[in-house]
Amino acid sequence: MAAEADDPSLAATLEKFRLYETRARFYVIGSSREKRWFRVLKIDRSEPSELNVSEDPVWYSLQEVKSLLQRIDEGNRSTGGLAFVTKAYGIAGCIKFLESYYLILVTKRRQIGCICGHAIYCIDESQMITIPHSSVQTDVATSKNELRYKKLLASVDLTKDFFYSYTYPIMQSLQQSVTSAGMKEMPYENLFVWNTFLTEPVRSRCHNTLWTVALVHGHFKQVKLSIFGREINVVLSSRRSRHFAGTRYLKRGVNDHGKVANDVETEQIVFEEEAGSWKGRMSAVVQMRGSIPLFWSQEASRLSPKPDIFVQRYDPTYEATKLHFDDLARRYGHPIIILNLIKTVEKRPREMMLRREYCRAVEYLNQNVPEEKKLRFIHWDFHKFAKSKSANVLGVLGKVAGEALDLTGFYYSGKPKVQKKRLIQLSRTSTARDGSLDIRASSGDLSRLRDGSLDIRASSGDLSRLSSNAEALSSTGFQDMRNQANKQEFLGDTPCYQTGVLRTNCIDCLDRTNVAQYAYGLAALGRQLHAMGLTDVLKIHPDSSIASALMEMYQSMGDALAHQYGGSAAHNTTSSTVQ
């Protein structure tokens, strides 16, 4: 912070705010973390329906800002002077309904984690403040419709499942952050920033993101674990997409733009305590869930706990489905591995109709596509297998996870040689190109999963013996990258990157998907700890204390996402399914 003391522009962020008012204006005084430097934002209150915001470009010292506030008070004595309104920790948004603009402030926060020295917060209290002075407002400001809209906005509980950071881009993966070249501001246009629209009026007028906080909706959990006396942090962060957002039954499948319901990116980060100074090792792996990317729906009914499933319309060229997978390729690279957990056989066809159509869609999209860009489709009837008394659900899913990790890899920092102060200042490493890594196939003996479409039979239980089935799409196959993956894990000082992603779905992308994502997380954690030199083996025993701690994290995440999308906690917990 010594450099910040000499050069206020190095403060980079404003973290604490105080709101003052006169009859004519609001003044937002923002300070850096150390409260050494201050900025001033002025908001006009004389227009009933227009937003006039101006930012003072000067960085003030504590004494200078006190003097400024005193002069403002003296200059407004005739109309009541300057009054303190509230302290705040950032602007969550600015919105207009029929007439007045409203300012949404974070008035209480709580730290819920810290990633490599960057604090992560949730909101404990927020406040909505009317910007125009009451003397200039018309009857519209107090009309029944205006009050109804205000009440609707107030019903959005910002204290539940929203989180943010001033210095760490929590809306994107650790790998994306590290490979972003010289990022100076928070990326608000990211699909996981839920208040992008609400903050745009302030950001566009100030041409920066100093005054606003970028809120991510989903789940954040951090725990400390001790492994052979070495303390590590494990973070589980789930980010819900703001596109095609909504609750179960109201939002299903895909829209015309390729956005799917319940699109959630889950990231598992592991780092050593000393990584706060950028000397320690870090690792991260990303997986995602999302509704089946077809046009389908269900009509909720009190009489039927399992409403009928309708394929609303058939898209002969699967254009929306293609848009979805093209978007995933841009986000994660290739390969895209699809794990489909819906039922194969039913007395009354529901899920199986979607399964057949999903297979057709993937088969169509894999036509005339280069080998490395073909979708890898794995189907496993979760319910059918889980009914067996001898079923080892976690064992089968763990093998799927292992194959997926062999293909995609995971992010590992290596041993940093250059110390950096801020994550958002890290430049692109020479081995990364736009967050992807060119992994070349080697000549080992991985090719145990040979088909682009694979149906995992309940009786097999051993992926190493699986072969293609009658519904195989084409022999696209999983590529042989085991040797490369093993190389990645043993290169202790060399950075490695994830390219591609495992996409899991059931019908709601909740219960069955939670179990599969935990199995993937457990398999990934073993490799992450091994790459960081914390263990000698690649696997974590499912009965170990580490596995139990991770399971609790995934259960907590599953409950949070189930409440957000389905309105209640997860019906089948991870622990009850895998035991």
Angle between helices 393-408 and 482-490 (to 10 degrees): 80
Q: What is the pLDDT of residue 577?
A: 61
What is the average pLDDT score of the chain? 84
Q: What is the pLDDT of residue 323?
A: 97
CA–CA separation, 51 and 160 (whole Å): 29
Q: Where are the domains of the chain?
A: 16-164, 219-417+495-570
pLDDT above 90: percentage of residues in the chain: 65
Binned at pLDDT 50, 70 and 90, residue 315 comes out as: confident
**Looking at per-residue confidence, does 3 or 315 come out higher?**
315
CA–CA separation, 295 and 574 (whole Å): 29
Average pLDDT of the segment spanning 20-40: 94
Question: β-strands 336-340, 501-505: how paired?
Answer: parallel
Rg (CA), the chain: 26
Instruction: Please check the confidence at residue 275 and state whether its pLDDT lies above 80.
Output: no
Angle between helices 511-531 and 545-566 (to 10 degrees): 140
The closest alpha carbon to 292, from 355, 239, 367, 379, belongs to 355
Binned at pLDDT 50, 70 and 90, residue 276 comes out as: low
Do residues 521 and 268 touch, judged by C-beta distance below 8 A? yes
Q: How many CA atoms lie within 13 A of 547 on its CB side?
A: 17
Average pLDDT of the segment spanning 409-428: 56
A 10 A CB-CB count for 52 gives 14
Q: What is the pLDDT of residue 456?
A: 55
CA–CA separation, 491 and 262 (whole Å): 36
**Looking at per-residue confidence, does 171 or 117 come out higher?**
171
- With a CB cutoff of 8 Å and minimum separation 6, the contacts of 431 are 437, 494, 495, 497
Q: What is the pLDDT of residue 482?
A: 35
Do residues 33 and 15 touch, judged by C-beta distance below 8 A? yes
Q: Of all helices (H) and strands (E), which one includes residue 277?
A: none
Average pLDDT of the segment spanning 482-507: 72
**Looking at per-residue confidence, does 142 or 303 come out higher?**
142
Average pLDDT of the segment spanning 369-390: 90
**Cis amide bond preceding 335, omega within 30:** yes
237 pairs with which residues across the strands?
220, 267
pLDDT tens per residue, range 167-193: 999 999 999 998 886 677 899 999 999
What is the four-CA torsion angle of 401, 516, 223, 559, rounded to 10 degrees?
A: 170
The closest alpha carbon to 191, from 373, 334, 328, belongs to 328
Output the CA–CA distances (angstroms, integers) from residue 337 to 61, 299, 374, in the order listed: 54, 30, 9
Do residues 312 and 450 touch, judged by C-beta distance below 8 A? no
First vs last C-alpha separation in the chain: 50
Q: What is the pLDDT of residue 314?
A: 80
DSSP line for 500-569 = SEEEEE-SSSSHHHHHHHHHHHHHHHHHHHHHTTS-SSS---TTSHHHHHHHHHHHHHHHHHHHHHHSS-
Instruction: Please check the confidence at residue 7 and state whether its pLDDT lies above 70.
Output: no
Do residues 211 and 227 touch, judged by C-beta distance below 8 A? no
**Looking at per-residue confidence, does 41 or 464 come out higher?**
41
A 10 A CB-CB count for 422 gives 16
Q: 308: which DSSP letter?
A: P
Q: What is the pLDDT of residue 479?
A: 36
Output the CA–CA distances (angstroms, integers) from residue 23 to 6, 27, 78, 105, 561, in the order listed: 36, 11, 10, 20, 44
CA–CA separation, 369 and 322 (whole Å): 12
Q: Cα 209 to the chain's mean position, in Å?
A: 20
pLDDT tens per residue, range 445-491: 333 333 445 665 433 333 333 333 323 332 233 333 333 333 344 44
**Looking at per-residue confidence, does 29 or 310 come out higher?**
29
Residue 350 structure tokens: 């529901």
pLDDT tens per residue, range 150-162: 999 988 899 999 9
Angle between helices 511-531 and 393-408 (to 10 degrees): 60
Instruction: Please check the confidence at residue 235 and state whether its pLDDT lies above 70.
Output: yes
A 10 A CB-CB count for 563 gives 15
Instruction: Please check the confidence at residue 130 and state whether its pLDDT lies above 90.
Output: yes
Question: β-strands 53-60, 38-44: how paired?
Answer: antiparallel
pLDDT above 70: percentage of residues in the chain: 80
